[in-house]
Amino acid sequence: MWLEEQALAPNIFVGRHNFYDAEPNADFAHQNVLYNRPGHNRLIIGSFCSFAQNVRFIMSAANHPMNTFSTFIFPELDRDFIEELGMTKADMPIKADTVIGNDVWIGRHAVIMPGVHIGDGAVIGAYALVTKDVPAYAIVGGNPAKMIRSRFDQATIDWLEAFQWWQYPDTMLDQLVPLLTKVDTQAARKQLEQLAKQQALAS
């Protein structure tokens, strides 16, 4: 299932070619983006991301007050309590936007908490609970998720972040795919750099 073909809430923004491993009639916005109330914050997803089944994004509307003696949602017990609350909306813990980079792979049943930023090329292990930002091209796993290792050395990561292959048009995928999937990454990098030079000269 391609996310860009789904009907999404107005605060969910997705790039191109994001694949979710689900049934064709799955409703990503309702089944996978939980406690979403547009106006609180946004979910921003880059391009060429892969999501396994049952990935969950928790949005800020799920928050409860934690700087008061009770965290209970009293208005759900009685709507009249809204006028009695000793706190305002400004007192609630509001998180920033949740941002998923490009070429990110998120494993089965992973949970992404509000306000988390996941860098380009990162891999999130199955059943991980991601509560903190994840660097580009990092592999994380566990509950709470912790760094396992980087996919590449820092120099290569810096180059990939500058190259940004996902910015190239679809018309170039036939040239990019053989290089992006090549096991000999050093040779692939040289060819990608040559391709970038050719594009710069042609533009």
The confidence band for 93, taking pLDDT boundaries of 50, 70 and 90, is low
The pTM score is: 0.89
Alpha carbon distance 97, 42 (integer Å): 5
Residue located via tokens 């009685």 = 78
Alpha carbon distance 4, 14 (integer Å): 6
According to CATH, the topology of domain 3-151 is UDP N-Acetylglucosamine Acyltransferase; domain 1 (2.160.10)
Let me know if 30 is a catalytic residue.
Answer: no
Cβ–Cβ < 8 Å for 81, 99: no
Between the CA of residue 14 and those of 33, 38, 159, what are the distances in Å?
Answer: 13, 15, 24
Active-site annotation holder among 40, 64, 109, 117: 64
Which two three-digit tokens encode residue 197? 């030079």
Q: For 20-29, 63-72, 166-175, which range has the lowest pLDDT when averaged over its residues?
A: 63-72
Q: Domain residues of the chain, as ranges?
A: 3-151
> What helix, strand, coil percent values describe the chain, rounded to 5?
30, 20, 50
Instruction: Look at 59 and 40; give whichever has higher pLDDT.
Output: 59
Compute the average pLDDT of residues 123-146. 98
